Amino acid sequence: MSVATDPRWPREHYLSEGFRLRDWLLTTDHKRIAWLYLASITAFFFLGGTAALLIRLELITPPGDLVSADTYNQLFSLHGIVMVWFFLIPSIPATLGNFLIPMMVGARDLAFPRLNLLSWYIYTLGGLFTLAAVIGGGVDTGWTFYTPYSTMFSNSAVIAAAAGVFIVGFSSILTGLNFIVTTHKMRAPGLSWFRLPLFVWANYATSLIMVLATPVLSSVLMLIVVERLLGIGIFDPALGGDPLLFQHLFWFYSHPAVYIMILPGMGVVSEIIACFSRKPVFGYHGMVISIMSIAVFGFIVWGHHMFVAGQSIYAGIMFSFFTFLVALPSAIKTFNWTATLYKGRITFTAPMIYALSFVGLFTIGGLTGIILASIAIDVHVHDTYFVTAHFHYIMVGGMVTGYLGGLHFWWPKMTGRMYSELWSKVAALALFIGFNLTFFPQFILGYLGMPRRYHEYPVDFQVLNVMSSLGAGVLAIGYLLPLFYLFWSLRFGPAAGGNPWRAKGLEWWTDSPPTKHNFHRIPRVTESAYAYDPTAE
């Protein structure tokens, strides 16, 4: 049955209001801006992914034979910069968050719709600078831009790359600002703070980090650009400046930014697990407190990136202690997800497979984080593949999996269409298998002493590296498949109807795709979030 004749297909919705270029580029509708972001971050994801694939191809053989050492440096820098700033940080907030937060709080739009569009343009401008850096010879400092290498010695396009990241920072500041004001001021009648879905809480906490940490990154990147451009040396040891100050300021942002790259995923997973277990999230208040305390603790642990950089041992001990503390709220969340599953009526849809993958992979990433927080062990494995594997388990195994899970969960809401059930499950499983095959060997490689960022290695490490590269191939299939069946669903997918998963939450009260102002009438909320009835049916 074609959707046009399907009674569940709404006659008027936000996508039926014009499809010309200007209807997209000048829109202030948060739902359309979410699509603009979705298209841009997908492009950047595949750019960063191509760099990763080249890295893994190079590492199949011990000698550096595919690319030169310089090119290799540029590849991992490009991979890091693009994936962190142009994919992971905007991923869930700017796409799913943009689309869903106004609907979840029962509002017609975000508080500042034009600012929302502006932040997409700022994102695009930052992206152009970064592309200019790639075309203009690449950048080889790694995504962290450590001084004095980035300011005094690197001959690559540091200015363009740092300026790109500086600019894109303002995009996330403005997005965060918009979300915070919307959550505070625009909730529907009856929607008290403790009735908000955890997805909103997670994005709220993320926004706080974006608003309070990103400006510090901006100031430190500004100092780098100024140092290279005007010759003003703040970090120059010859003048009595200190390169370590750069690391302090950089990680003051970039550690909280790690939580920008996991908290929204936690929000998504909470929604999915509750829906497909048909149970309220276990320990809702504990979940909220955990989300907020992860955001707060995130600001006082930055020194654990600098255990071997020469900071005082007492600072090291404190940072190590605070880092252990982050494990508490993270563990509370993991146990609560598990407890939500307990005695639930579980259905293994594609979003659910992604969500369960998230829980498993995040647990491994989190536990290895505790290992790294112990100073004595960190001295041994610092700057090895152990660290690489650890943060990929959080950022890819966690966030990217959560992002794809969320995309599959809300795709029917965003497009009004269903996708292939079989192929989506295949893609979710390919991601889980491919991911583990890629990154688990890296834990062993790192523990055996293989350092990060080298384009050649001793023959002894080859078996594990080949496993990792094979895994990257499987992982690539897991990422490419959704591209095909999701596009397919846009044209051929059956109509989804307002609430195909029979989920709770205000966004499911309205049509799919929703009308321009989200609701035909602003909803009045009378029950807590996740009011699933486990005994129904």
Residues 405 and 358 sit within 8 Å (Cβ to Cβ): yes
Residue with tokens 């309205």: 510
Binding status of residue 152 toward another protein by CB under 8 A? no
In whole angstroms, the minimum distance from the beta carbon of 73 to another protein comes to: 27
Nearer Cβ to another protein, position 305 or 333?
305
State the Cα angle at 466 between 460 and 467, rounded to 5°. 110
In whole angstroms, the minimum distance from the beta carbon of 234 to another protein comes to: 6
Nearest partner of 297 among 326, 319, 321, 267, judged by Cα = 326
In whole angstroms, the minimum distance from the beta carbon of 5 to another protein comes to: 25
How far apart are alpha carbons 73 and 445 in whole angstroms?
A: 20
Cis-peptide, bond into residue 197, ω within 30° of zero: no
In whole angstroms, the minimum distance from the beta carbon of 401 to another protein comes to: 30
Number of residues in contact with another protein under rule CB under 8 A: 56
Binding status of residue 311 toward another protein by CB under 8 A? no
Nearest partner of 140 among 79, 83, 85, 60, judged by Cα = 79
Nearer Cβ to another protein, position 245 or 367?
245
In whole angstroms, the minimum distance from the beta carbon of 227 to another protein comes to: 8
Over the window 255 to 294, marking each residue x when it contacts another protein by CB under 8 A and - when it does not, the resulting string is ----------------------------------------
By CB under 8 A, name the one of 112, 440, 447, 454 that touches another protein: 112
Residues 522 and 106 sit within 8 Å (Cβ to Cβ): yes
Specify the stretch interacting with another protein by CB under 8 A; choose among 21-29, 138-146, 259-267, 348-356.
Answer: 21-29
Nearer Cβ to another protein, position 319 or 532?
319
Binding status of residue 26 toward another protein by CB under 8 A? yes
Binding status of residue 17 toward another protein by CB under 8 A? yes
**Pseudo-torsion of CA 211, 215, 221, 222, nearest 10°?**
140
Nearest partner of 446 among 463, 464, 471, judged by Cα = 464
How far apart are alpha carbons 281 and 237 in whole angstroms?
A: 53
Cis-peptide, bond into residue 148, ω within 30° of zero: yes
Over the window 331 to 360, marking each residue x when it contacts another protein by CB under 8 A and - when it does not, the resulting string is ------------------------------
Encode 294-331 in three state secondary structure. HHHHHHHCHHHHCCCCCCCHHHHHHHHHHHHHHHHHHH
Binding status of residue 105 toward another protein by CB under 8 A? no
3-state secondary structure of 451: strand
Binding status of residue 162 toward another protein by CB under 8 A? no
What residue type is 409 in one-letter code? F
Residues 55 and 134 sit within 8 Å (Cβ to Cβ): no
Residues 281 and 342 sit within 8 Å (Cβ to Cβ): no
DSSP state of 92: I
* Token couple for 450: 């293989």
Nearer Cβ to another protein, position 259 or 435?
259
Residue 299: count other Cβ atoms within 10 Å of its Cβ: 17
In whole angstroms, the minimum distance from the beta carbon of 304 to another protein comes to: 19
How many residues are there in the chain? 537
What is the footprint of another protein within residues 57-96 (CB under 8 A)?
none
In whole angstroms, the minimum distance from the beta carbon of 180 to another protein comes to: 6
By CB under 8 A, name the one of 61, 218, 311, 374 that touches another protein: 218
DSSP state of 9: S
Specify the stretch interacting with another protein by CB under 8 A; choose among 47-55, 110-118, 155-163, 262-270.
Answer: 110-118
DSSP state of 64: -
Binding status of residue 137 toward another protein by CB under 8 A? no
Binding status of residue 118 toward another protein by CB under 8 A? no
Binding status of residue 27 toward another protein by CB under 8 A? yes
In whole angstroms, the minimum distance from the beta carbon of 41 to another protein comes to: 22
How far apart are alpha carbons 201 and 223 in whole angstroms?
A: 34
Report DSSP letters for 179-213, one per residue.
HHHHHHH-PPTT--GGGS-HHHHHHHHHHHHHHHH
What is the footprint of another protein within residues 166-185 (CB under 8 A)?
173, 177-178, 180-181, 184-185
In whole angstroms, the minimum distance from the beta carbon of 30 to another protein comes to: 9
What is the footprint of another protein within residues 511-530 (CB under 8 A)?
516-517, 522
Nearer Cβ to another protein, position 23 or 460?
23
Nearer Cβ to another protein, position 138 or 215?
215
Residues at the contact surface with another protein, assessed by CB under 8 A: 14, 17-18, 22-23, 26-29, 32, 102, 107-114, 173, 177-178, 180-181, 184-186, 211-216, 218-220, 222-223, 226, 230-234, 236, 238-242, 245, 249, 252, 516-517, 522
